[in-house]
Chains A and B, each alone.
Chain A
């Protein structure tokens, strides 16, 4: 059974810093791993999706990496801004199961 863990649960950093969010998963048999952003009380916004054959994906100030052998993914945010404050969720799609298995999320606060 796939389990996804995100550490830390909360993170607070000053504006302008580069930061890394961590995600680990127990079973390397995945189709892909996806990072989402969730603002309070709202739905999910997809940020980056990494297919199992890929090592990383980039979008603007965001870079996500995937290491299946170690069961880890990271989301790197460069030059953080107060607007980046949100909860960040990672989710893995297990092979043979068309569903997303989510981590508990990291609540990120960027202080001006």
Chain B
């Protein structure tokens, strides 16, 4: 069974540009999560999508947004890139809202460098 996949693996952008990261969940999973791992800041929760809806959002500015498609894949968009957006962006998936606390399975991440 294929795991969570993310694309691209690496990305270099300049300040002010926009970027789109992509994630495909494990087959059958309806929930997708995005996390940011910036140097020195640890892993921070960004967004949670389930059944096409944004269910929860971390403490990030509105220029971080995303969506989930009918096939449950997801995009994370970051507008007006800033240097501090340089990070490893991790996507995870899980079964849906059955009872809470579902196990999350992580992809390999996309490393974004903003110059």
Contacts and interface: CB of A to CB of B under 8 A. Distances in A.
Contact of A104 (B42, B92, B100): B42
Given A99-B56, A101-B45, A44 B90 contact: yes
A32 B44 CA distance: 18
**Which of A43, A44, A104 has most chain B Cβ within 10 Å?**
A43
Interface stretch (A11-19, A56-64, A66-74, A89-97): A89-97
B61 interface: no
Interface in A3-51: 30-32, 34, 36, 41-46, 49, 51
A78 interface: no
A43 B33 contact: no
Nearest to B99: A31
Q: Please classify the interface of chain B as helix (H, G, I), strand (E, B), loop, or mixed, using the class held by over half of its residues.
A: strand
B103 A46 contact: yes
Nearest to B40: A104
Contacts of B97: 98
Given A46-B103, A104-B42, A99 B109 contact: no
B42 A103 contact: yes
Contacts of A41: 88, 111
A41 B97 CA distance: 31
Interface of A: 30-32, 34, 36, 41-46, 49, 51-52, 89, 91, 93, 95-105
Per CB-CB distance, the 7 closest pairs between chain A and chain B, nearest first, are: A31-B101, A102-B43, A44-B106, A43-B108, A99-B45, A104-B42, A43-B109
Interface of B: 31, 33, 35, 42-45, 48, 50, 55-56, 58, 88, 90, 92, 94, 97, 100-109, 111
